A and B are shown apart, each in its own frame.
Chain A
Amino acid sequence: MVELRPRSVRRLLEQLERLPGIGPRTARVLVEHLLTVDAGEVGELAEALAGLRREVRLCEQCFLLTDDERCSVCRDPSRDRSTILVVEEPTTAWAVEATREYRGLYHALLGHLSPLHGVGPEDLTIDRLEERCRGGEVRELILATNPTVEGETTALYIVRRLQPLSLTVSRPASGVPVGGDLSAVDQLTLAQALQLRRKL
């Protein structure tokens, strides 16, 4: 068999296939697309990719992704500084922010506790979170770590560690999706939703 794909195409295919969610077929479709569109458009994409790592950094206060030293939330004087919503990854905050329901600050832990992978409290930004909570302004903590074994345990660890500060600590409720059919919800989620039912 003769290799028909030029070296530059093979190089791009290899790079694309290393990305999550992209298999050989999707990679080929993307390359075909890039070969047909305007060269300027491809240049913009290349610049965006290069700029991502060059310009993006972590907010020195809350560890969300930002182009500046502090993220737009930490810089915004209208945000409620008495509440911090804690997430594992900075990108989770994007989903929370999109709800437009939350007006407080954020804190990204940059992971979760996982002894199996050698990740302990010192590998996360928990020290920095504690410092922020000790600052005096913070009254409430919402622990929005993922509802997994590791996420739950990380939340539990933070609760215990910050107990002396007497903050109001909560976790987002887990339960049935809004507008869904109860019979289609998995049993464990439904059981938990019943356990955490609210009074009407």
Chain B
Amino acid sequence: MLIRALTARSFRNLGQAPAHFAAGVNLIVGANGEGKSSLLEAISVLANLRSFRTVRWGAVARHGAAGFALLGEIEGAQGRLLLEQAVELGPPLRRRLLVNGAPASVERYLSLCPVASLSSADGELVLGPPGLRRGLLDRLAFLLAPSTLEVLRCFQRTLRQRNALLAGLSTAGELDAWDERLAAAAAELVVRRQRAMAALVEAFEESYQALRGAAFPRVAITYRGESWLNGSEILADVEESYRKRYNETRVRDRHAGHTQEGPHRHDLCVLAEDRPAREVLSSGQIKIVAAALRLASVFHVERERGEPLPVMVDDVDAELDREVFARLTRALANERQLLLTSAHPELVAPAFPEALVLTMQGGGCRPRAGTGE
């Protein structure tokens, strides 16, 4: 799968002229503030409907604009496809998604061209709150089975409803009904996460092995749910466990005003030498572990789909020391499309003699003559 071209309208400081990309390595260079990261961010929003820099849509639209639009051309096993999205900031926020000119569901649109991005914010994936790691796992579960998105929405909606009920007045009969729905939704989500986790553990071993240096400690990832689940993966068993548990902890939950157990509290734990990674690893090592986590997901999805997926690395040289950078490029180098940004092309370019070099200036992007041929 490749990103062939991208045209942006009112997206940060990007110009309106289309940017074209090569199938192999694309090295996007330019001084700070010229729009390198914004170009990668636009690709991320185009393909994944999310930015790796912000969760605020208002921040990606050009200052004063009522919204933004992206048009991209991708190419893969299904041939060439045109992806279009138009976002009106609102409120309420409205997003229109089109594939080859026809309206598409979020599930279909998101499944077409998942793009992985590595950036300076990735250390947070290890150090930050569990929600970020759950997000990585849920995204993998979605890419393995797109119906996971609806399962996740259903769980979140049911959880909000039960929490509203716990915070107010309710009859036992009403709470029974919501408990039963929440138990079913929680079980469905947990089982899907466990399946995704099994795949991620295997792929992480491979990706971490490829990126780690000689002095790096042993790192393992595990899914941490409630201990009473005993790691069961049988849907009916997990559902029954949650049903019983929600019933037992009702008084406590009512007192707290919210649901204290469930997949919304689970974590993907990163352990170094059997201890929390943040206690053992250096900040450099943490970035490598985060990159290995992101790549593990990519590697597994690539195997499932039978095609390589694009990988973007923002500010590639600033993030990684020379040795790690060499290992990363080795791990990524094959048929994959790479989109790398750098403010110091003289350091990065020698590693990619075949790369198409794109120069960003004032939000515009043009190929440097004689590259990428």
Contacts and interface: CB of A to CB of B under 8 A. Distances in A.
A116 B161 contact: yes
A26 interface: no
Given A150-B161, A160-B173, A186-B105, A115 B178 contact: yes
A186 B151 CA distance: 13
B170 A120 contact: yes
Contact of B164 (A115, A152, A154): A115
A116 B160 contact: yes
Kindly state the interface size class of chain B when it binds its partner.
20 to 34
B177 A157 contact: yes
A104 interface: no
A121 B174 contact: yes
Given A186-B107, A191-B147, A120 B174 contact: yes
Nearest to B165: A115
A156 B145 CA distance: 27
Contact of B181 (A153, A187, A191): A153
Interface string A100-135: 000000000000011110101100000000000000
Contacts of A120: 169-171, 174
A149 B181 contact: yes
A116 B164 contact: yes
B273 interface: no
Interface string A17-30: 00000000000000
A154 B177 CA distance: 8
A82 to B, nearest CB: 25
A76 to B, nearest CB: 33
Interface in B298-344: none
A186 B170 contact: no
B173 A161 contact: yes
A95 interface: no
Interface in B152-174: 154, 157-158, 160-162, 164-165, 168-171, 173-174
A187 B147 contact: yes
A121 B173 contact: yes
Contacts of B185: 149
A149 to B, nearest CB: 5
Contacts of B162: 115
A39 B83 CA distance: 48
A188 interface: yes
A157 B161 contact: no
A150 B174 CA distance: 12
A178 to B, nearest CB: 21
A114 B161 CA distance: 7
A161 B168 CA distance: 21
Nearest to A150: B161
Given A113-B174, A157-B177, A186-B147, A149 B168 contact: no
B274 interface: no
Nearest to B162: A115
Nearest to A156: B177
Interface of A: 113-116, 118, 120-121, 149-150, 152-154, 156-157, 160-161, 186-188, 191
Interface of B: 105, 107, 145-147, 150-151, 154, 157-158, 160-162, 164-165, 168-171, 173-174, 176-178, 180-181, 185
Given A115-B174, A118-B168, 10 more contacts: A113-B161, A113-B174, A113-B177, A115-B161, A115-B165, A153-B177, A153-B181, A156-B177, A157-B176, A188-B150
23 contacts: A113-B161, A113-B174, A115-B162, A116-B164, A120-B170, A120-B174, A149-B154, A149-B158, A149-B161, A149-B185, A153-B161, A153-B177, A153-B178, A154-B177, A156-B177, A156-B180, A160-B176, A160-B177, A187-B107, A187-B145, A187-B147, A188-B150, A191-B147
